[in-house]
Structures are given as C-alpha cells and as structure tokens.
Structure 1
Amino acid sequence: MIRILITLALISLTLPAQATEAGWALLRGGGHVVLMRHAYALGTVEPPNFDIEKCGTQRNLSERGRHQARRIGSLIAARGAPVERVLSSRLCRALETARLAFGAGAVEAFAPLDPPGEDETANAEALAATIEAVHGYSGSGNMVMVADLPAIKALTGHKTREGEALIVAPDENGLVVLGRIVFN
C-alpha cells in the first residue's frame, strides 16, 4: 500500500512538469494562442465598490505577483517562445501582469476578456468575441491573452493557478486545451 501511495505521489509531481514541457514545445514553433491567468494578487473577491476603470477598487498584484509577472516574461523569452500579440482583460491585475511580462507597449486591452458579469447576453457576446479572436489569429509568433479565472473557466472549462497558462485552439465547441505551462 505504501508503494502505491509513493508511486502515485511521484506521478502527480511529474505530471505538471511533463505538461509544462509539452506546452513549451508547442510555443517554440509559434502560431499558438496562450490563455494565461494573471499573476498573484491578494484576496479572492473583488471589493463591493469594484469598478473596472479604477485600479483602487480592484484586487491588484502583490509584490510577489509583480515578481512572478516579470519572471513569466523572462521565461518565455529564455525558452525562445516568440510573442507577437498580447491581449489583456481590462482588470488592472491582468493589465499589469501583461505589461510587466511583455512590455507596456505590446499590450492591448481587450474587453471581451473581462470577468463575466450578470448579463448573460453580454457574457455570451464576450465569449464569442474571444473565440473569434482565437479563430482569427494566424501570426507566426504566439498570441497571449491575459485574463482572470472566471473568464478562463468560461472559455475552456479548466481552472488555472495564478500565472499559469493554457495553450488553446478553436474547435467546433469553442476552445480546446492543447497544453499547459506552470510558471511557478
């Protein structure tokens, strides 16, 4: 019984590394879309006075998150994964993650990546616009899209940790996950 538990523990430790290496292999060739969760931010719920236009009303990156964002950009560059375009939710923590990782001039705010709200019609339109952006991407480098967990889960059905990335592609039902990169 102990051998089985040890074996399962070892397998669970190697799976993220294998997923990460497979993800890097995809990105080195370019032409892929990366859906990345913002770096580490304190708290789990937006303040009651949340306003997407005002950073002071949002959960923002901690110093640890800023360090993580810079590290993500360094790792992507060091691994030879070309980044051609960067789209970000308008959430301040997503924008800051993208700007620290890829440079402020490279980042475009993309409202469809904002967190889903109460309006189901607007949510469906945002999902469709994001999926259309993935469908329409044909660059030779990679396109990175930075968002928060609710948007990523709505798009893929997958949960990600802060600073984790999914390599996605369009399919007949929306987006399919081709790979994963864990930066931590």
Structure 2
Amino acid sequence: MLALWVLTPPLATASENELATRLQQGGHVLMLRHAHAPGFGDPPHFKLDDCTTQRNLDASGRAQAMAAGGWLRGQGVKAARVYSSQWCRSLETARLLNLGDVTPLPALNSFFERTHDRVNSLVALNAFFARQPADGPLLILVTHFVNIQAIAGFGVGSGEGVLLQLQPGEAPRVVGRLDVGAPGPARTRRRSVL
C-alpha cells in the first residue's frame, strides 16, 4: 500500500538565489498555483470539459502566467516537463508559461469542492512523484491551492509556487516558496523562503 506523504518545512531555509539556482538543477518540482482567476470555487453547473462553466483566468491572470514564464526563463529555465490539472484555468496558466508541451494530469485536479477525491488524488500524486527520476529536468505542476496545501503543508496565492526536491523512496522535500508571477519589486517583496 502506498503511504500518503506529509511534508514538513525544512529546518534550514533557502535563499532566493538558491531557489533560482535549484530551478536549473535536476530533481526539482515547482508546484505552481494557477494564475489569477476571479471568484471562489467553481459554479454549481461546473463541467470539466466546458470552460464556460468554470472560473477562468482574467486579463491580469493571463499576464501573471506569462510573467511567470518570463521570470522562469530569466532564471535559465528554457524548457521543463509541464503537467497541469484538467481545470481550464490551470491548463491556460501552464500553456502561457510557454516552457513546453502541457500534459493534463488528473492527480492535480482540485478537490476543494470534491473532498471525497482528496485521498485518491494524493495517492496518485505521490505515485507520480515516486516514478520521477531524482535527477530529471525541472518538473512544473500547475494545480490548485488545496493540492499544494496538502503536499507542502501550507497554501500559496495565485501565481505562487512551492519548490520541492525529489528524494528517492521518500516524500519530496520542501525547499522554498516562490512568487514567480508577480512583476518586478512586488515579486521581491512577496517571495519568501521557508
């Protein structure tokens, strides 16, 4: 039976420069919350295959996603393995990063209003982590607040992410928190490390 991993923040903290350097090193995962999508949750008539029934990115969310991709490229990330929740706002965020083909991954789907899916989603996500090479290229997972909170132990805002380090046979280790979608000085003020 696959155990659910619970991550705890590391004892040591990573500097902003170290986090940027780690983005280029093998064996790291950036779990990124989708960019700004006004509202809360999804409408009652939500359908996974119909974006008109979902909460979607607005113009500022699209700009935020493009800025995140630009910031990542500025840190030397030219391409990554990019996976996304099947929600339209996550898929659009992932595509606007412009860092590679986007693969939908159901394990990244939100369980905010579907709490009965939480355990199965986390088991599937942990199995996904376990299959990844510890020295593989950067993996970007675009997902939702509740998914990141369940893995990292804390939530992040729209366009923010958590950098994890893969560890064979163990839970990924939280390295730090990045606000990759904020412009210029706001990004510096809001970025934090654990």
Q: Normalising to structure 1: TM-score of the pair?
A: 0.80
Q: 1:64 to 1:169 in 2, by over 3 A?
A: same
Whether 2:115 is the aligned partner of 1:91: answer no
Report SS of the residue matched to 1:179: strand
CA contact (8 A) 1:82 1:141 kept: no
Contact kept in structure 2, 1:37 and 1:152, CA below 8 Å: yes
Higher helix share: 1
155, 163, 169: which is aligned to 2:165? 169
Alpha-carbon spacing, 1:63–1:125, altered in 2? closer, same or farther (3 Å): same
1:60-139 alignment, distance < 5 Å: 60-102=56-98, 106-116=101-111, 118=114, 120=116, 122-138=117-133
- Kindly report which structure 2 residues correspond to 1:7-26, keeping only aligned pairs within 5 A, or say none: 19-26=15-22
Whether contact under 8 Å (1:84, 1:140) holds in the other structure is no
Counterpart among 163, 178, 183 of residue 181 in structure 1: 178
1:56 and 2:52 are equivalent in the alignment = yes
- For the structure 1 residues 140 and 44, does the alpha-carbon distance in structure 2 shift closer, same or farther, using more than 3 Å as the test? same
Q: Decide which of 28, 40, 65 is 1:32's aligned counterpart.
A: 28
d(CA) in 2 for partners of 1:39, 1:81: 19
Unmatched tracts of structure 2, length 5 or more: 1-13, 183-194
Identity of aligned residues (%): 31
1:34–1:145 CA contact under 8 A, matched in 2: yes
Query: Cα distance, 1:82 vs. partner?
Result: 4.7
Q: Normalising by the residue count of structure 2, what TM-score does the alignment of the two structures yield?
A: 0.76
What is the Cα deviation at residue 173 of structure 1? Answer: 7.2
Q: Distance in 1 between matches of 2:124 and 2:172?
A: 12
| Structure of greater Rg | 1
Return 5+ residue gaps in structure 1 as ranges: 1-17
1:174 shift after superposition = 4.0
What is the RMSD computed on CA atoms of the aligned residues? 2.1
Tell me how far 1:133 sits from its aligned partner.
1.5
Query: What amino acid maps onto 2:124 in structure 1?
Result: A
